[in-house]
Amino acid sequence: MVLLNGYYDRFKTIQAAEEDYKNRHPSSESQSYESGKPRAAGLPLRRGVKNSELVELKLRLETAFDRLVRRCVEEQMISPAAAQTMLREFHRSTDP
């Protein structure tokens, strides 16, 4: 969940680093890591994941975790009290 919650901050860091590099090296061309081909000058770095996709991924992760914990209780691998604690901590950690 930390990876999903931190996506935007990591993107902004990469974007700032690219801008800093372009400012310090005005004659160099920025390479696209995906294709290895130069990007056209002046094109901004774009996010690879939309906010709606991040929301969907978080929901899917939360649902899967809830099901896993419920199954562990059913199989008597953990106590209901332990499950409640785990779920409470997990959902607290998913708040942005």
Q: Which residue type is seen at 32?
A: S
Q: Would you state the pLDDT for residue 41? A: 53
Enter the pTM of the model.
Answer: 0.55
State the distance between the two ends of the chain, measured CA to CA, in whole angstroms: 10
Beta bridge partners of 31: 38
Q: Which of 18, 16, 11 is nearest to 54 (CA)?
A: 11
Considering only residues 29 and 93, tell me which one the structure prediction assigns the higher pLDDT: 93
Q: For 55-68, what is the mean pLDDT?
A: 91
Of 21-30, 36-45, 62-71, 80-89, the range with the lowest mean pLDDT is 36-45
The CA distance from 58 to 3, in Å, is: 10
Of 22-26, 68-72, 84-88, the range with the lowest mean pLDDT is 22-26
pLDDT at 28 exceeding the cut of 60:
no
> CA 47, 51, 23: angle at the middle one, nearest 5?
25
Residue showing tokens 């991924």 = 57
Q: Would you state the pLDDT for residue 40? A: 52
